Amino acid sequence: MAEAAEAEAVRLAVLRGYAILDTPAEAAFDRLAALARDLLRTPTAMVSLIDETRQWFKARIGTELREVPRELAFCDHTIRGAPDEVLVVPDLKADPRFASNPLVTDSPHLRFYAGAPLVGPGGAVLGTVSVLCTEPRPEGLSETERQGLRNLAATVADELELRLQSRLSREAAVRAEAARAAEERLRRAQEAAGVVAFEIAGRSGMVADMAPRADGLRQVLGLSPGSLLNLRHVLAAVCPEDRPALAAEARRLATAGGEFRLEFRVRPGRWLQARGKVEATRGQNQVLNWRASGIIFDITERKEMELALREAELRQRTLFEAAPFGVIIIDPATHRILDVNGRVCAEYGYTREEFLHLSLADIDALGDSEAIRVRGRAHAVRPGTQEVEAQHRTKSGEIRDVLVRAQGVVLGGRKVTYGAHIDITARKAAEAALRESEAEFRAAFEQASVAMSEVDCTTGCLLRANAAYARLVGRSAEEIVGRPFSDFVHPDDRAGDLAGFGRVCRGETPIHEVAKRYVQPDGSLRWAELTSAPVCDQAGRIVRTVAIIQDVTERRAAEERQALLVREVDHRAKNVLAVVQAALRLTPKGDTEAYAKAVEGRVMALARAHTLLAAERWTGARLRTLLEGELAAFLSATTTSAGSGQRAELHGPNVMLPPASAQALSMTLHELATNATKHGALSAPGGRISISWRVTEETDRSALWLQWSEAGGPPVTGTPVRRGFGSRVIEATIRDQLGGTVRTDWKPGGVICELTVPLRERPG
């Protein structure tokens, strides 16, 4: 297994060396593929190369495919065989290795395959030359055809090698030209940089200018062309400040020899560096001989850069120490602290020397470097930069909240991490207090029994509304938030409400108070009293209003009912006095006792009507209750000791009488019952009364139709010659007071009286 993997790795390396995968089509390979098709009489032929995952077609005839996965490639089996073996599959569908291959079972439904391996010069099998057909070939290939396919594969391998050698030749030419150009650039760079080779003979002190150009040394030293050039002249060209040190080093080297590297100025602002070697020997008579050789070149630019670097480092250190926040520099691999600024020392209580013996885990509350890394990766804002809130421990043990923004940098080839540490303990405490306050406000806002809302001053839209507000306008909170608050206000109240809202948002008034109506989806109205005040942002700009809205619908209805009740009581009291006055005037006064009894009965009828009206807050009286009350006294007075069963029957729907109709009908019923007790059905033991009613709908109003029917009383002899007092009261009450009608039928079996009384106007 290991040998196979190693061999495959070698094969892939050779294949990649040809640099041919995913290259455009080339005519030479296309011609060879066409030759394979024609030679073996198949519709499809290809030159394939196989890498780790796919079979890629360098040339293809008869297919649009550019590649197939390696696990589907027939040629993968070919390259696993012997280098000179041609794989022939007469019928792919009959071969267990390929029967389930999608290229066989689905389009293009291949049935025949033959392929010869492409063998490189080192024996590595790179791919195949293959042919395919959608019809099986039971006879396979003849040996001649097999050899022809081998020859084509060898030709393709030669073409690959030729292509490789051609590419390598081109690359070698490019490299040679690049080397020549580099050498020329080096020469020009030396000239441009002023690099000059020199040699000094010790006995004479003469200096020889060697390369790269004549008189170059005099130019570098700032001497005139053709001037005498010896060690003394060289030292004379050096700036006086550097000359003593340079002369002393020259004397030392002349005695001891050795390598040298000297930096000096030849005029203010221009620096040179000389480097080389001095060979010192003693000849006959111990005479000292020495020879120095080396190069000299201008290093002014480097010196300027070093100066700029020192100044930059000074500026960086100044900013580092003056930063209004703590800065900690760490080794990202070990988390060891490398440096800190003074702010960190002041906030954490450690000296800088103490910090240099600590790691980040020693001050972070997590206490573990790996946990700190996991937290940092989770809060990366971009590659190399992290921003995280952490808790750090001071030298005294106090835990402080800090915001850390860490940035990785490379300094002198070494990775370090700069971390800005901002103490946010006070801010976190303020945020916690704000969250608690906000939670309390939200709870109060949401659970308040009165409606509350917040409205954006710019748009007039609701930012927030509690459940009580949603109930007030008859919609869910989701339906109302984001919509203009004026959408829910009655059109007649909208302009004034918007004007007051605008004055608050513009700061013209500190408060807006208004009574208005809200319209619910079903059209019903709710009265409310609103008080709103402005809310400012951190810049002091008014951005929204907060409002408390009290639902006063029931209170206003009660107030209206009370006012109506007062008016109604006043009106009814006047009506009652007028009715009593009329009853007194119309009641016969011949018999004092009868007079008093008649007046008392009529007044009691009015009293019973008033009692019913008061129970309903003067909104009306129920007809059945009125009938039962009026008949109760008469029925109890006429019931025999032996009992005669039910003497009165009531038939009709539930009807609420207006106050005026209730008073008039009570008088009418009292007169009918009085007449029945004296002369009609209730004067005889077996007499009965039947009262039925219904409500009729006329063109412009509804009316009450009521029938009083008597039976079982004394025989009725016909219509009376003279109308009695009761008849006059009934007609005056029903016809004149209520605008109704009265019809009385004096049947022998008993009186029948039909009344029609208007109830209310029909809505237009």
Per-residue pLDDT of 360-370, as tens digits, reads: 999 999 999 99
Q: How far is it, in rounded angstroms, from Cα 442 to Cα 448?
A: 10
3-state secondary structure of 728: helix
Q: How far is it, in rounded angstroms, from Cα 544 to Cα 535?
A: 5
Tokens 């892939």 correspond to 12
According to DSSP, residue 92 is labeled: G
Q: How far is it, in rounded angstroms, from Cα 364 to Cα 391?
A: 6
DSSP string of 490-540? -HHHHHHHHHHHHHHHTTS-S-EEEEEEEE-TTS-EEEEEEEEEEEE-TTS
Q: How far is it, in rounded angstroms, from Cα 520 to Cα 490?
A: 10
**In sequence order, what are the residues at sequence separation of 6 or more whose Cβ sits closer than 8 angstroms to the Cβ of residue 71?**
none
According to DSSP, residue 197 is labeled: E
Q: pLDDT value at position 615?
A: 61
| Among candidate residues 453, 458, 556, 554, the one with its CA nearest the CA of residue 506 | 458
From edge to edge, which strands make up the β-sheet containing 125-133? Answer: 67-69, 54-61, 44-50, 125-133, 112-119, 87-89
Query: Alpha helix locations (H) across 364-481?
Result: 369-378, 425-447, 467-473, 477-480
Query: Alpha helix locations (H) across 222-341?
Result: 231-237, 243-256, 300-322
Q: How far separated are the first and last CA of the chain, in Å rounded? A: 101
Contact 500, 487 (CB under 8 A): no
Q: In degrees rounded to 5, what are phi and psi of residue 397?
A: 95, -5
Whole-number CA gyration radius for the chain: 60
Contact 515, 521 (CB under 8 A): no
Q: How far is it, in rounded angstroms, from Cα 134 to Cα 123?
A: 32
Q: pLDDT value at position 643?
A: 45
Contact 486, 460 (CB under 8 A): yes
Contact 130, 48 (CB under 8 A): yes
**In sequence order, what are the residues at sequence separation of 6 or more whose Cβ sits closer than 8 angstroms to the Cβ of residue 140?**
88, 90, 114
| Among candidate residues 326, 327, 337, the one with its CA nearest the CA of residue 362 | 337
Count CB atoms within 10 A of the CB of residue 21. 14
Do β-strands 54-61 and 701-711 pair in parallel, antiparallel, or remain unpaired? unpaired
Count CB atoms within 10 A of the CB of residue 309. 10
Angle subtended at Cα 501 by Cα 500 and Cα 505, rounded to the nearest 5 degrees: 120
Write out the two tokens for 689.
């009364």
3-state secondary structure of 650: strand
Q: What pairs with residue 309 in β-bridges? A: none
Do β-strands 451-456 and 542-551 pair in parallel, antiparallel, or remain unpaired? antiparallel
Amino acid type, 365: A
N residues, the chain: 764
Q: How far is it, in rounded angstroms, from Cα 518 to Cα 152?
A: 93
Contact 634, 669 (CB under 8 A): no
Q: pLDDT value at position 505?
A: 94
Do β-strands 399-411 and 414-423 pair in parallel, antiparallel, or remain unpaired? antiparallel
Q: How far is it, in rounded angstroms, from Cα 53 to Cα 73?
A: 10
Domains with residue ranges and CATH for the chain: 2-167 (3.30.450.40), 194-304 (3.30.450.20), 323-428 (3.30.450.20), 448-551 (3.30.450.20), 559-761 (3.30.565.10)
453-506 pLDDT, tens digit per residue, is 999 999 999 998 988 899 989 999 889 999 999 999 999 999 999 999 999 999
Contact 44, 51 (CB under 8 A): no
Contact 74, 130 (CB under 8 A): yes
Number of H helices and number of E strands within the chain? 22, 29
Q: pLDDT value at position 715?
A: 87
Amino acid type, 408: G
| Among candidate residues 354, 345, 349, the one with its CA nearest the CA of residue 321 | 345
Write out the two tokens for 687.
């007499």
According to DSSP, residue 681 is labeled: G
Count CB atoms within 10 A of the CB of residue 712. 17
**In sequence order, what are the residues at sequence separation of 6 or more whose Cβ sits closer than 8 angstroms to the Cβ of residue 590?**
none
Low-confidence ranges of the chain (pLDDT < 50): 211, 639-644, 761-764
pTM of the predicted protein model: 0.36
